[in-house]
Amino acid sequence: MAPSSRARLSIDLDALAHNYHAIAAEAAGAETAPVVKADGYGLSAGPIARRLWAEGARTFFVARLAEGEALRRELDHRAARILVLDGFTAECGPRLCASDLMPVLNSVEQVAAAIAFAAGLDAPLPCALQADTGMNRQGLAPGQAQALAGSGGLAGLTVDLVMSHLGSGAIPDHPRNRQQLAAFREIRALFPAAQASLAASAGAFLGPDYRFDLVRPGISLYGGGPTERPDPRLRAVARLEAPILDIRQLSAGDYVGYGTTIQTDHATRVALVGAGYADGVIRASRRSGQAWAAGALRRLYIVDMDLTVVDLGDGEAAPGDMVELLGPHALLDDLAHAAGSIAHECLVRLSSRAQRIYLGSEATQTA
C-alpha cells in the first residue's frame, strides 16, 4: 500500500473560530472563556488556544495544573487568564504562582490550603470559587459558601469568579436546570464583586438567564452540539479520514471479522479502511455508526484493531480513496451516539497515530 496508508486527522481552525463566534453571539453580553482541558479535547491545546486568543478569548480553563503550565507556554506567556479546575493543594501553590494560574477552589479543604499559602505572599491570591448547586460532583455546598462569605473567611484571597456547573444542561426542559439556577443566584449574590459563571456549552444555549458574566464552552467549540445532537449552528473541527486498503465482495450471510456477531444480510461490496483503535475509532461505534464513503453515509460493519470495514453498497470506490470516519459528514454527535458515548470522549480518543494537519491560520482571519 502507498505510504499514505496512514489515517489523517485534520483540525480546522477556521471552523473553531466560527464556533467560538457562534457561541459568543448566543451568549452576547457575557465573556466566552474556552475550556481547553485534556489537551484541547484531544485536538492540541496550543494551536487551539492561540487561534482563540486571536479571535478575542482572554480567559481559558484547564483541568490539571500541568495542563495550565503547558498552556501558559503554548500561549507564549500572553496575558491570558488561565484557570485550573482541579483547584488547590499546598504543593501546587508555588507552581500556580510561577505560571500565573488561577485555582478554582472546590472544597473547604482547598480554601484552607489556599489561605495558608496566601499568608506567605505579598499580595492577595486571585482565585475562583466553585459551588455545588446540585450536580453533586465538585464544589462547595451552598452552606459552606455562605459561611465563608459571611465570616470574612477568605483572608488573603481575592475571589475573581464564582461558578457552578449544570448537570442537565443538555436537556433544556429538565427541572434540575431551574433548580440549579435558583441556587446559583443565591450564591453569586454572596460575592457581588466577583464575576459569575454557570454555563458550559449546553448552558450557553439555554438563554439569557444562564449566561451571567462568563460562559465556559468546551465541546461546542469543537463542534459538539449543546444537546448532544448535531447542531447546524456549529461546524465540525476534527475530520478523521483513512484510505481504503482493499475492496471485497461479500455474500448474504457472511460473517465479518472476529466472532459471529456481525453478519451481512445481503450480498454487498465492502471497503477495508486503514484505521482502528489507535487512530481513535471506537469499537462500539460499529453498532449503528456510519462513515462517509463514495459520496454517502455508509454503514460501519466492524472496527477491529487497525481495520474498519464499511459497507459500500452501490458506491463506486477504489483502493486509495479516503473514507471520512468523523467530520463534516460523519458527525461527531452521531458517532458518539452510535458508540454509546458522548462527543467529549470520542474527540479525546483521537490519538497521535493519525497524521495531524491544521487547516487555517493560528492568527485571526478577520483582523
Ligand X SMILES: *Cc1c(COP(=O)(O)O)cnc(C)c1O
Residues 122-151: x where in contact with ligand X by CB under 6 A, - otherwise, as a string: ------------------------------
Among 87, 217, 225, 360, binds ligand X (CB under 6 A): 217
Assess whether 358 carries a catalytic annotation: no
Residue 240 in contact with residue 280, Cβ under 8 Å?
Answer: yes
Kindly indicate which of the ranges 71-79, 212-220, 250-258, 348-356 contains the residues binding ligand X, using the contact rule CB under 6 A.
Answer: 212-220
Question: How many residues contact ligand X, by CB under 6 A?
Answer: 12
Residue 229 or 299 having the CB closest to ligand X: 229
Cell of 162: 464564582
Residue 239 in contact with residue 21, Cβ under 8 Å?
Answer: no
Crossing angle of helices 108-118 and 142-150, rounded to 10°: 30
The order of strands in the sheet holding 195-197 is 59-62, 81-84, 101-105, 125-130, 157-163, 195-197
Residue 169's closest CA among 141, 142, 133?
133
Is 216 a binding residue for ligand X by CB under 6 A? The answer is yes
Is 219 a binding residue for ligand X by CB under 6 A? The answer is yes
Assess whether 255 carries a catalytic annotation: no
- Tell me how many degrees the CA angle 118-122-128 measures, rounded to the nearest 5: 40
Kindly indicate which of the ranges 91-99, 218-226, 250-258, 331-339 contains the residues binding ligand X, using the contact rule CB under 6 A.
Answer: 218-226
Cell of 196: 459569575
Q: How far is the CB of 169 from ligand X (least distance, A)?
A: 8
Residue 6's closest CA among 356, 358, 360?
356
* Partner residues linked to 302 by β-bridges: 309
Is 85 a binding residue for ligand X by CB under 6 A? The answer is yes
Residue 13's closest CA among 55, 51, 65?
51
Catalytic annotation, pick one of 37, 41, 210, 222: 37
Cell of 172: 433544556
Is 201 a binding residue for ligand X by CB under 6 A? The answer is yes
Residues 319-348: x where in contact with ligand X by CB under 6 A, - otherwise, as a string: -------------------------x----
For ligand X, the binding residues (CB under 6 A) are: 35, 37, 85, 165, 200-201, 216-220, 344
Catalytic positions: 37, 258
